[in-house]
Chain A
Amino acid sequence: DTAVSQTPKYLVTQMGNDKSIKCEQNLGHDTMYWYKQDSKKFLKIMFSYNNKELIINETVPNRFSPKSPDKAHLNLHINSLELGDSAVYFCASSRGHANTGELFFGEGSRLTVL
């Protein structure tokens, strides 16, 4: 069983469209994250949820809206997609939000905005 799974793996869409990425973890972790990795491989945290509550919301356009229906799921919805949103989006989870231990990453969702 995959520990952190994201769908879809690939997304190709036009500017202005809305898209969602789903993430699920079966590790029983309390904390989940969304990261963005750009074309230069820089990794930047976007959001962090602990037990369904938003605890980190970095400087991200409000076109990006995370939603955590339960602590095993964290979805990312993006409105009015722009060219600069093209990136690989990674979901991750950890046992707690203090980052003393391992982060478990999904395989990534590659978003291409045309």
Chain B
Amino acid sequence: AQSVAQPEDQVNVAEGNPLTVKCTYSVSGNPYLFWYVQYPNRGLQFLLKYITGDNLVKGSYGFEAEFNKSQTSFHLKKPSALVSDSALYFCAVRDDSNYQLIWGAGTKLIIKP
């Protein structure tokens, strides 16, 4: 069965430090992977996607994600965290049977000044 997992409910990082939000997936074919961010009381916003090509994908707000096929991971990273990055982050993978997105449970990112 196709699935996506975000193993951390919450990640705490000091401002200025690098951050990583983890995501692992399980799909039968080539994965279509996405990261979205949700600020409090707002809708989700697209950050980046991996479909094919370079394993390092760059996205909005200085975020990037590294696709690792052998580890079936797609971790979200940023070299230097900002307090304004504090939000809920969702990883998603496309279900090849119906093309719908399967969503992770979300990871709350807290950046402390």
Known: A99-B94, A100-B32. A4 touches B100 (CB 8 A): no
Residue B27, interface by CB 8 Å: no
Pick the interface stretch among B12-20, B43-51, B64-72. B43-51
Q: How many residues of B contact A (CB 8 A)?
A: 21
Instruction: For A48, give the chain B residue with the smallest CB separation.
Output: B100
Q: Which residues of B have CB within 8 Å of A42?
A: 103, 105-106
Contact of B99 among A4, A90, A98, A108 (CB under 8 A): A98
Q: Which residues of A have CB within 8 Å of B88?
A: 41
* Most chain B CB within a 10 A radius of its CB, from A40, A99, A101: A99
A90 shortest CB reach to chain B, Å: 6
Instruction: For A96, give the chain B residue with the smallest CB separation.
Output: B99
Residue B82, interface by CB 8 Å: no
Q: What is A's interface to B at a CB cutoff of 8 Å?
A: 4, 40-45, 48, 56, 90, 92, 97-108
A-B residue pairs in contact (CB < 8 Å), sample of 7: A41-B106, A43-B44, A43-B103, A99-B94, A99-B99, A103-B44, A105-B45
